[in-house]
Structure 1
Amino acid sequence: MPTIDLAELAAAANGFVLHFLAAVALSALFGFCYLQITPYAEFKLIRAGKTAPALAFSGAVLGFALALAGAIANSVSFTDMLIWAGVAFFVQTLVFVGVRLAFADLCERIAGDEIGPAVVLAGFSLAAGVLNAACMSY
């Protein structure tokens, strides 16, 4: 039966805790900043039972989380992970700006609870997250 090196186990646990807490904090920061750049009040609309803002916001957060997972899995250090998280943050912000430019009335339609534009935004956000995560390799 193999022996367990407690020092290695403790180091792995510390790395897990550090990365997990950083991921939670970075995700919260991304969510907060994303809410600031959208011209509609997602949480107010979601509390009112609107589906489209919930879908669009969830897609953005999941897209960021996918890219962040890639950064955590492929980074060579904690600092490297933070840099790649910044790239993911930037890319997700660009996705929102790009989709908003492509669909001039995107925000009004999402705020009006139209599902189609929300699905498009969520889809682009998820696609960017997947591609971003895949590109974060050495």
Structure 2
Amino acid sequence: MTDTLDILWQTLNSGLPILLLHFLTTLALLGLGVGCYALITPFRERALIRQGNTAAGLTLGGAWVALAIPLAATLATSGVWLDILLWGSVAVLIQLLTFGVFIVSFRDFRAAIESGNVAAAALLVGVQMAVALLNAGAMAG
């Protein structure tokens, strides 16, 4: 029994720091991605959310999930910290570019979200999720 506990303790001691490094790196990339997303949006989601704007809440929540999906794939398939950092950054850039292309394509999107148009928000979330899934598939290789 003592040998088994020693082995488990050694495994935990050697694996936990790596797990935490990988997880915290991915979490930092997620936070950075959402922060960049908030900077490039033509509207201020947090202020709109405080006012009860459901459409703004959907777009920001969708951004969180759409950024997390390819990051999770990178985390699951990369065993090396630098791989996670590199490919996670690429995944975030792809998602941010997706949003940028969407905004350019739908020029009245700002007004739609500011007026609480949930259909417009759902369209953006759908596009972000579709690209996130493809992005994750590519990251998983």
Q: TM-score, normalised by structure 2?
A: 0.90
Aligned residue in 2 for 1:56: 59
Does structure 1 conserve the Cα–Cα contact (< 8 Å) formed by 2:87 and 2:139?
yes
> Which of the numbers 113, 116, 125 marks the counterpart of 1:113?
116
Counterparts of 1:1-138 in structure 2, within 5 Å, are: 3=4, 5=7, 6-138=9-141
Unaligned runs of 5+ in 1: none
When Rg is computed on C-alpha atoms for both structures, the one with the higher figure is: 2
What is the CA–CA distance in structure 1 between the aligned matches of 2:73 and 2:11, rounded to whole Å? 23
Q: Which has the higher mean CA deviation after the structures are superposed, 111-120 or 4-13?
A: 4-13
Does structure 1 conserve the Cα–Cα contact (< 8 Å) formed by 2:45 and 2:56?
yes
- Letter in structure 2 aligned against 1:25: A
Q: TM-score, normalised by structure 1?
A: 0.92
Q: Which has the higher mean CA deviation after the structures are superposed, 55-64 or 17-26?
A: 17-26
User: Deviations along 1:10-40, whole A, 9 cap, x unmatched?
Assistant: 1221122112222222211111111100111
User: Deviations along 1:34-66, whole A, 9 cap, x unmatched?
Assistant: 110011111000000000011011111101101
Give the share of equivalent positions with the same residue, in percent. 36
Unaligned runs of 5+ in 2: none
Does structure 1 conserve the Cα–Cα contact (< 8 Å) formed by 2:26 and 2:84?
no
Give the RMSD, CA atoms, in angstroms: 1.6
Q: CA deviation at 1:74?
A: 0.8
